[in-house]
Amino acid sequence: MVLSEERKALLQTQVELWNQTLSFMKSVALAVALDLRITDAIRHRGGGTATLPQILSGIGINPCKLASLRHLMRVLTIAGTFAIQPLETSSGRHDEPVYKLAPVSCLLTGGDVSENTTSSLSPMLSHVLYPFHDSVLSMGLAAWFRHDEEPGKCLYTLMDGVTLWEMVDVSGGVGGAAATIAAAFPSLKCTVLDLPHVVAKAPSVRNVQFVAGDMFESIPPANAIFLKYVPHDWGDDKCIKLLKNCKKAIPSRDAGGKVIIIDIVVGSSPSDIKLLETQVLCDLHFMEIGGVERDQQEWKKIFLAAGFKDYNIMLLGLRSIIELYP
């Protein structure tokens, strides 16, 4: 797919705007790091370095939060709060990442009375960052990390008692994307699948039919399936279940069957630091509702688990177009 320079500029502008909008998540991440005393957990280990499991143990958090801690640390390393170095294995390969203190984090000591902490900025920073501590913006992220009685619940559910999807559907299930596709390609017949209460409000759109159902149960047969901003709302198990249903609904690759996904691929352009930062900030933001923004290896893992054989990724600004083949 070839984009004009004008469209490329527009996509880059969108990245810039999202970066400005989500920059507050860096303050949220720093507030959580101070609250959990991640700096102390790293500093107190021999050599001043630690892996994720070691940090988890050092801050006394349930192992079920390991994946979430990885996503938090990804934001903190991109922001420069901590540094990361690869672990050299005996075979010469790099395995699990090891975190160490960056110049910034050397000023974030917890303030143990037995240590010289006169240069620590933690007390002042904690005061300044207090609005992010338990605010609607952070949704009590530090408290959620400590909460291990209901490990399967995202912090949104713990705070409100229901999932986001039990309150309002925000996936655009009334056919906006399908209507645009049908208008651009009049020969196509499009079907929109969504929950019954969403479909009931759908408008009449030419060449677009609406089907009430549950994508985790079954998907109507089609030559191609389009998932726009859907997988990032769900954890791996749910995504694998969804993609397995997609695979059942489409023909073989030789017959033209494929799944088209529009979503973020973290690190899709490693040299673009602004893009990478925006992607990981999106990831931390979506973690609040139990969602996740995945890098290519994480996408590959769920594709293979769902039984797909091949995929292709095309960068499209903040997000990417993923073509997935059975």
What does the pLDDT look like over 277-310, one tens digit per residue?
999 999 998 888 888 999 999 999 999 999 999 9
Residue 240 has φ and ψ, to the nearest 5°, of -65, -40
The whole-angstrom separation of Cα 173 and Cα 192 is: 7
Return the pLDDT at 121. 83
Q: At what angle do helices 273-287 and 66-78 cross, to 10 degrees?
A: 150
What pLDDT is recorded for position 90?
A: 43
Sign of CA dihedral 52, 53, 57, 62: positive
pTM of the entire structure? Answer: 0.83
pLDDT in tens, 128-139: 887 776 666 566
pLDDT of residue 2: 73
Nearest CA to 214 out of 245, 185, 235, 191 is that of: 245
Q: Give the CATH superfamily of 167-325.
A: Vaccinia Virus protein VP39 (3.40.50.150)
**Active-site annotation holder among 71, 133, 232, 285:** 232
Facing residues of 323 across strands? 260, 312
Q: Does residue 127 carry a catalytic annotation?
A: no
How many CB atoms are located within 10 Å of the residue 239 CB? 24
Measured CA to CA, the distance from residue 193 to residue 242 in angstroms comes to: 13
pLDDT tens column, 175-205: 788 888 888 888 888 888 888 888 888 888 8
Cα 246 to Cα 260: distance, rounded to the nearest angstrom: 10
Which residues have C-beta within 8 Å of that of residue 48, sequence separation ≥ 6?
A: 42, 100, 101
How far apart, in Å, are the Cα atoms of 210 and each of 99, 106, 205, 282? 49, 56, 9, 30
Q: Is the pLDDT of residue 168 over 50?
A: no
Q: What is the rounded distance in angstroms from the CA atom of residue 134 to the CA atom of residue 140? A: 4
| Domains of the chain by residue range | 25-152, 167-325
Dihedrals phi, psi of 135, to nearest 5 degrees: -80, 170
CATH of domain 25-152: 1.10.10.10
Nearest Cα neighbor of 65 from 161, 138, 141 is 141
